Amino acid sequence: MDISKSTSNEKFIYILQHSFIQEAIKIGSSERSPELIADELSQQLNLPGRYLVFSAIKCLEANQIEQRVMKSVAPYRETTGFYQLSPQSALNIIKRDIMRIPINVLFEHCH
């Protein structure tokens, strides 16, 4: 998957999944490419396997959705940015929250 860098008012909401530890996911948002973030995280944590992009949704004015999503997944939080739930469950939560806020989704990629 090739996802280009977003413009200044666009942000990616992403889910990263580890190749070995599939129920421990990272949910975040950034103007940077989720693929680049996954590669950097794989190198930083120095674990066997690597992080892969499970889902990436590019949104305009994504701050509202980011806040809502972080509240929705808070019960599953293990540590900053990492959550103990299936990537598909996290994606379902994100999609539900997107439907509740009128934002423009520019791009969506799901694994």
Phi, psi (deg, nearest 5) at residue 46: 55, 45
Could you tell me if residue 4 is inside a domain? no
Q: Which residues pair with 83 in a beta bridge?
A: 25, 77
pLDDT of residue 102: 63
Write the single-letter amino acid at 47: L
Could you tell me if residue 25 is inside a domain? yes
Nearest to 15 by CA among 95, 104, 103: 95
Burial of 1 (0-12, 13-18, 19+ CB in 10 A): exposed
Q: Sign of the CA dihedral 82, 87, 93, 98?
A: positive
pLDDT digits (tens, 9 = 90+) for 12-67: 999 999 988 878 899 999 999 999 999 999 988 877 889 999 999 888 767 788 88
pLDDT of residue 48: 84
Domain hosting 100: range is 10-110
pLDDT of residue 108: 56
Could you tell me if residue 97 is inside a domain? yes
Number of domains in the chain: 1
Could you tell me if residue 5 is inside a domain? no
pLDDT digits (tens, 9 = 90+) for 66-110: 888 899 999 999 988 899 999 999 999 988 888 777 655 555 555
pTM for the whole structure: 0.82
Could you tell me if residue 56 is inside a domain? yes
